[in-house]
Each structure stands twice: as C-alpha cells, then as structure tokens.
C-alpha cells in the first residue's frame, strides 16, 4: 500500500526553489533571533560529533526488501506552519521537506505530498486510507483518535516568543488586544475580552505590525520567517518562558518493519545535520518586495543615487563605502546585544583576517584558535583543518576542559559575487544539557518501580543482540509470580510492590551484568542470555533464581509462601521473530501454571 505524511497550507513563497536570503542584514537578524531560542533539535547524540559526515540508516534484509516493495511514501502535514512545512503547487517546502529528503537519502523511500487544513480533514484522509504518516505534528495535538497510533521520538523542539508592537509594555498587557489564530487555544495570560481572531499565523503577525492588534504569541521559527518575508519594523520579538513544543511523526501505517525503517532514519540524523536542515528550511524565503519597503529601506540611497547622477560617479563610491560601514555598525550592535546572554557570539572578517568577539566571548577563551584553521579552496568554499565544511552552516562540539562542553555554530555570509565574506558564529554551553539528556535517556529505559529495564527497552535490546549474533545459542526466560493478585488483595499493594522488588533484586543477583533483565508488565518479568548456553546452565539458573527469590522475600515484609513459575525457550533459530520466541517461552510458563505452579519448564526452538 502507498505510504503517507500530513501537512497545514501556509503562505506561498515567491520562488518554488529553496534559496538563501539575499539580504545580509536579514540573515543576521534571523541568526540573532535564533540565538536566544533553546536548542531547536531533538535527541542530540553526543557520539561522533567531530565530523560533518554521518552514517546512513543500517537496514536489515527484511527492511531493505520492504523499501523495494513499497518505494513510494505519501506524506501529509497540517497547514499554516511555515517555515516548518508548507505546500506550493503540490510540492513541500520548509524544515519538514529537508527532514523527509534526509529520510529518503537514508532509506531509499520516495515521497509524494498532500495536506489537510485542520485535524478533522486529516482524520478524513486517514479514514479513506490516503495517509500512512503524519509529519511535523506537535505532541499537544495528538489526542482523540490519534492516540491509538504509535509515534516517533521528537526530532524538533520550538518555543513561543512574544511578538509585540513597539511602545507596548510587555509586562502590562491585560488591557491590550491579542491577535489569536482561529482554532488555537488562548494562552492563560490573555484577557479573553481583548481578543481578535485571524485566519492564520501570518495574518495575526500582520495585525500586530499594522496596529490592528497589540501582541500575539508564535513559535520562533514562524516569527523569524515572516519577519524576513514581510519586513516587520513596527513590532519586536521578546523571549518568553513558554511551553516547549515537540514535533514528531505519527505512524498511521503501523507495520512494524515500516516503523522501524523510519525510526532508524530519524535516529541516524546527527545533531549537526538537523541544525543544517533547520537553517536551510528557515531561510527558504524571499523578502516580499513592496514600494513602501523599498522606500523605507533604501530611501536615502535612492535620493543619493539621483544626486550622484547629477554630481559625479565618485560620490556614488563614497556613499557605498559609508553604507557598508553603517551596516557593520548595525551588525556589531546586534552582537553587543547578544553579549548579554549566556551565549558567546563572534564575527570573523575572512578577507582581512580580523576576529571581533563579544565581550563575554573574549572573556571565555581565545576564540581565534577556532578560526585560524580556515583556508580558502577552489570554488570559494571555506573548510576547517578537520574537514568540516562551514559554508553550509555545519557545526561541531568541543570540550573546553573545566569550562565545560560547547557547541560551535558558524554561518558564512557571501558577498554579491557569491564568495565567502565573513562568518558569524556562536559558542553555546551545553554541559548541563548533555547531562540532562543522559539522565533522561537512562530514566526512559528503566522501570520506575523495580529499577530494571522496562518492557520496550528489554525487547529492543534482545532484538539487537540477536541481530548482531544470530547464530549463538540463547535462552529466553519468562518469569511470573504465582497468585500475585491474591497477594495484592490479601496484603495490600505495598506488600505487592515489595514482592516485585524482591524478584527484581533476585534476577539482578542471579544473572550476569551482560545479560538482559526486564519487567514485561505487572508481575511478569523476562531474562535473556546467550553464548555457550546449555540446558544444564538453564536448569542451574532456574533453581538458583527460585532459591534466591525465597531468600529475598524471607525478610518479614513479604508472605513466605510466594512462588515462581518459569518458562524457558532454549535454542538457536536466527529466523524466529522475538514475538514468536516470547510466545513459546510463555506457553512453557503456562504449562507450569496449569500443573501446580512453583516450577519451571524448558522448551527448545
């Protein structure tokens, strides 16, 4: 069957192709705005980040066959999410397009695109079987019928910023008019009696710019996108601590092989590559050219040109030099403003070999050590000594000793001839972020009560172990506490939890650290061992586990009569799926249950 992703329509771009913003000041404005935002990509892996290269998703034989049999994926998303995703003449643009292109390169899938204007229309497409995957879906929108579908891990985060008209006090907005988007829930701090509704995010931002409304909230990507497109100058963006939005993929096609392929492709996208996708997608906009905008931006220059035609060509050169100096002053003012944040900004003039750091950057370290490795090469590309191509806005991460772990992000700005002119870059302290990611990842893999692997993690680890060594003898244990419901009913859930913890401790004591031990759910546990496994070893493990468990519960808190039933699948069948192996072990377990409990049975694959 065809495979599909879902999207929401957004303003049309003046060009169908993706292009870099031609205005230098617009690029710097976007760069500074994104500097104040939190990290925009999800699940940043700390491994192998010193290189801009990445490994394609490693697909199994079954997964490669699936791609060959289902080569076309129909992708859809919700409208009104520029620059996250928008369609033009049936073609997808924005950050999501970059993500899907990357998945295509990783897997071999090809995408066709469709869109839905709202959730109801999206559900209709799903009901008609025209959608297999929804892309760029905020976790907050996954409710109702969508809850029954599996989702990927978040691949993108965004936060809201306050977009407010100049002269309006950001801290005193109760009597000010809020520009709301139809169908979007009002924020808690908005006065419901002071709301005007608009059809789309761009219309709401335009209302603030024109004075029809005083302020609104929007994600930082959309604010940057429409600021560049429409040239807003009567309003400003103010960072606010708002709820972070997580964007992920919803799998309407729940085929396990298909889901595994897409998950692998998402997991293979490095943080550097994701940042590049974000930058390319955010800059795929051409500023709207209007008479008022031209007069506002270049009014003085136009008058000067008229005077220069009458005066002399030398005056034109003088004004051009003056304009360049004024532009540099403007950029440096923005850099000084960024210097008050927790990030460290710098500008590097390539042709003159001059580095201009913000004050806090200069205090942090000698930043020149990260710039001097650049060298010019044929084709006007700028390459670091370690092979990292900076022209496309790639990044790397470095440890600065006791100062912490930092992410370096550089953006190259070209002159009118397309040659690199200077670099604007920043250092971001991500030491705390890395520790939090490591801690959260560990917590997500463990069962909260027993402290061993949860069901999903245990299953994935067993499957991974069998893929890496399919010909090794292995044993899958399924363990169940006899009459556990009676324990909860008789002694209470506290005692029941103590029994579960005792079994967890017994499994940890009996099995090796290299073995996989997990809680499947309720009172059912599993263990997996491989290598030189024999029936004698399995018998010894079962007896030792029963003995250890009886010792563990004999502490006065648990009923001494608690027993275990164990089913074991022993053998080596590389073609047997995990579910089939688990089912055989479970059948052996229930054989023990039906024949008096308190024992174990071993079956072979």
Lowest mean pLDDT among 18-22, 116-120, 245-249, 391-395: 18-22
Q: How many CB atoms lie within 10 A of CB 145?
A: 12
Average pLDDT over residues 429-441: 75
Average pLDDT over residues 566-590: 92
What pLDDT does 431 receive? 73
Residue 298 has pLDDT above 60, yes or no: yes
Label residue 283 left, alpha or beta by phi (over 0 means left) and psi (-120 to 50 means alpha).
Answer: alpha
Lowest mean pLDDT among 79-83, 352-356, 364-368, 575-579: 364-368
Lowest mean pLDDT among 40-54, 61-75, 346-360, 568-582: 40-54
Residue 41 has pLDDT above 50, yes or no: no
Average pLDDT over residues 463-479: 92
Average pLDDT over residues 375-392: 40
* Phi and psi, residue 325, nearest 5°: -65, -40
Determine contact, residues 42/156, Cβ cutoff 8 Å.
Answer: yes
Expressed in angstroms, the distance from the first to the final Cα of the chain is 33
- The pLDDT tens digits of the residues spanning 189-230 come to 899 999 999 988 889 999 999 999 999 988 888 888 888 888
What pLDDT does 395 receive? 63
Identify the three-state secondary structure at position 602: strand
Please give the structure tokens belonging to residue 167.
């002269």
Please give the structure tokens belonging to residue 267.
């997991």
Residue 414, Cα to own-chain centre: how many angstroms? 29
Lowest mean pLDDT among 42-46, 103-107, 212-216: 42-46
Residue 185 has pLDDT above 50, yes or no: yes
Lowest mean pLDDT among 141-155, 428-442, 575-589: 428-442
What pLDDT does 286 receive? 66
Of 155, 216, 131, 148, the C-alpha closest to 182 is 216
Residue 43 has pLDDT above 50, yes or no: no
* Phi and psi, residue 536, nearest 5°: -65, -40
CA–CA separation, 151 vs 143, rounded Å?
Answer: 12
Exposed, middle or buried: residue 324 (CB in 10 Å: 0-12, 13-18, 19+)?
Answer: exposed
Determine contact, residues 270/54, Cβ cutoff 8 Å.
Answer: yes
What pLDDT does 289 receive? 59
Pairing of strands 524-531, 473-481: antiparallel
DSSP 155: -
What pLDDT does 601 receive? 96
Contact partners, residue 297, CB within 8 Å, separation at least 6: 231
What pLDDT does 303 receive? 75
Mean pLDDT score of the chain: 78
Rg (CA), the chain: 30
What pLDDT does 31 receive? 46
């Amino acid at each position: 069957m065809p495979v599909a992703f879902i999207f929401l329509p957004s303003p049309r771009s003046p060009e169908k192709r993706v292009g870099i913003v031609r205005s230098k000041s617009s690029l710097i404005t976007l760069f500074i705005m994104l500097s104040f935002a939190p990290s925009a990509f999800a699940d940043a892996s700390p491994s192998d980040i010193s290189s801009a290269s990445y490994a394609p998703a490693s697909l199994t034989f079954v997964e490669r066959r699936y791609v060959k049999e289902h080569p076309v994926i129909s992708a859809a998303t919700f409208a009104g999410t520029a620059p996250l995703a928008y369609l033009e003449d049936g073609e997808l643009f924005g950050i999501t397009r970059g993500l899907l292109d990357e998945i295509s390169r990783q897997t071999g899938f090809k995408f066709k695109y469709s869109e839905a204007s709202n959730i109801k229309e999206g559900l209709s497409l799903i009901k008609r079987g025209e959608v297999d995957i929804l892309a760029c879906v905020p976790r907050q929108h996954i409710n109702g019928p969508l809850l029954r579908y599996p989702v990927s891990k978040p691949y993108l985060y965004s936060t809201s910023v306050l977009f407010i008209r100049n002269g309006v006090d950001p801290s005193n907005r109760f009597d000010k008019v809020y520009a709301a988007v139809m169908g979007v829930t009002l924020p808690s701090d908005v006065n419901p009696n002071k709301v005007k509704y608009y059809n789309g995010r761009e219309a709401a931002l335009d209302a603030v710019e024109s004075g029809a409304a005083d302020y609104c909230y929007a994600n930082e990507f959309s604010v940057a996108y429409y600021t560049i497109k429409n040239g807003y100058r009567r309003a400003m963006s103010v960072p606010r601590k708002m709820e972070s939005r997580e964007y992920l993929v919803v799998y309407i096609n729940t085929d396990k092989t298909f889901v595994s392929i897409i998950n692998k492709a998402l997991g293979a996208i490095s943080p550097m590559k994701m940042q590049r996708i974000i930058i390319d997608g955010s800059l795929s906009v051409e500023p709207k050219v209007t008479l008022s905008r031209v007069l506002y931006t270049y009014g003085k220059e136009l008058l000067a040109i008229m005077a220069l035609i009458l005066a002399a060509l030398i005056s034109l050169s003088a004004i051009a030099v003056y304009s360049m100096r004024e532009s540099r002053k403007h950029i440096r003012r923005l850099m000084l403003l960024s210097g008050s944040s927790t990030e460290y900004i710098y500008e590097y003039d390539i042709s003159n070999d001059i580095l201009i750091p913000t004050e806090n950057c200069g205090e942090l370290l000698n930043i020149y050590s990260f710039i001097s490795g650049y060298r010019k090469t044929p084709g006007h590309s700028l390459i670091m000594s370690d092979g990292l191509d900076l022209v496309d806005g790639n990044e790397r991460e470095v440890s600065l000793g006791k100062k912490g772990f930092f992410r370096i992000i550089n953006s190259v700005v070209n002159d009118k001839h397309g040659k690199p002119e200077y670099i604007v870059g920043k250092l971001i302290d991500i030491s705390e972020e890395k520790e939090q990611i490591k801690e959260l990842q560990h917590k997500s893999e463990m069962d909260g009560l027993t402290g061993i692997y949860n069901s999903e993690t245990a299953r994935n680890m067993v499957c991974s172990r069998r893929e890496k060594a399919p010909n090794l003898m292995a044993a899958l244990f399924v363990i169940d506490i006899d009459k556990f419901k009676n324990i909860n009913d008789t002694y209470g859930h506290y005692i029941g939890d103590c029994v579960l913890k005792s079994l967890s401790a017994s499994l940890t004591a009996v099995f090796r650290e290299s073995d996989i031990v997990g809680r499947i759910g309720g009172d059912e546990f599993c263990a997996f061992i491989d290598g030189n496994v024999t029936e004698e070893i399995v018998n010894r493990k079962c007896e030792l586990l029963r003995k250890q468990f009886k010792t563990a519960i004999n502490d006065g808190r648990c009923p001494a009569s608690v027993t275990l039933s164990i089913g074991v699948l022993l053998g080596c069948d590389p073609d047997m799926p995990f579910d089939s192996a688990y089912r055989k072990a479970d059948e052996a377990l229930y054989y023990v249950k039906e024949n008096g409990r308190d024992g174990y049975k071993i079956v072979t694959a």
